[in-house]
């Protein structure tokens, strides 16, 4: 029998989850429970997810496009239909090789994302120089 204060199920469609623009090149939709979080992340070609690390274990599934990850001294390109597991506290960076939609799963949840304390994502960095 469930506890009286236990969280009950929540049903949503992705379209009902608000789209949060992070910058001109990255936006996301986030859905979370108490222990796990999933996010659809939209990343424009050449956008950079700057070097960072977090407590959460991360699984990234590429739904469209491709990301080049830099982690543990290596570059790994992950394309549509492929997944990568990033362990807890491993510094990593990513560059979108094309317009990309990925599904990120985190456990435990990213409190920094929920608290909007994720300024590294909001800078709108790109890999290519904007000089002509």
> Tokens at residue 97, please?
């090789």
For 30, the domain range is 18-121
Q: Would you say residue 132 lies in a domain?
A: no
Q: Would you say residue 40 lies in a domain?
A: yes
Per-residue confidence in pLDDT tens, the chain, 132 aa: 555 566 678 999 999 999 999 999 999 999 999 999 999 999 999 999 999 999 999 999 999 999 999 999 999 999 999 999 999 999 999 999 999 999 999 999 999 999 999 998 899 999 874 443
Does residue 60 contact residue 86 with C-beta atoms inside 8 Å?
yes
Q: What is the pLDDT of residue 128?
A: 73
Domain count along the chain:
1
Q: What is the CATH number of the domain that holds 117?
A: 2.60.120.10
Q: Would you say residue 130 lies in a domain?
A: no
Residue 37 CB neighbour total at 10 angstroms: 21
Q: What is the DSSP string of 59-118?
A: EEEEEESEEEEEETTEEEEEETT-EEEE-TT--EEEEESSSEEEEEEEES--HHHHTT--
Q: Would you say residue 66 lies in a domain?
A: yes
State whether the Cα torsion 97-23-102-107 is positive or negative.
positive
Q: Would you say residue 7 lies in a domain?
A: no
Q: Would you say residue 126 lies in a domain?
A: no
Residue 71 CB neighbour total at 10 angstroms: 17
Q: Would you say residue 47 lies in a domain?
A: yes
Q: Would you say residue 9 lies in a domain?
A: no
Among candidate residues 41, 60, 37, the one with its CA nearest the CA of residue 108: 37
Counted residue by residue, the chain has a size of: 132
pTM: 0.87
């Amino acid at each position: 029998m469930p506890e009286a204060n236990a969280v009950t199920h929540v049903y949503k469609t992705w379209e009902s989850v608000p789209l949060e623009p992070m910058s001109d090149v990255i936006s996301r939709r986030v859905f979370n429970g108490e222990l796990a979080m999933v996010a659809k992340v939209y990343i424009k070609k050449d956008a950079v997810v700057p070097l960072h690390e977090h407590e959460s274990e991360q699984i990234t599934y590429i739904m469209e496009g491709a990301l080049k990850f830099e982690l543990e001294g290596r570059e790994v390109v992950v394309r549509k239909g492929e997944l990568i597991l990033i362990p807890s506290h491993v510094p990593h960076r990513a560059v979108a090789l094309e317009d990309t939609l990925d599904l990120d799963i985190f456990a435990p949840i990213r409190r920094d994302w929920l608290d909007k304390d994720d300024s590294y994502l909001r800078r709108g960095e790109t890999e290519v120089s904007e000089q002509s």
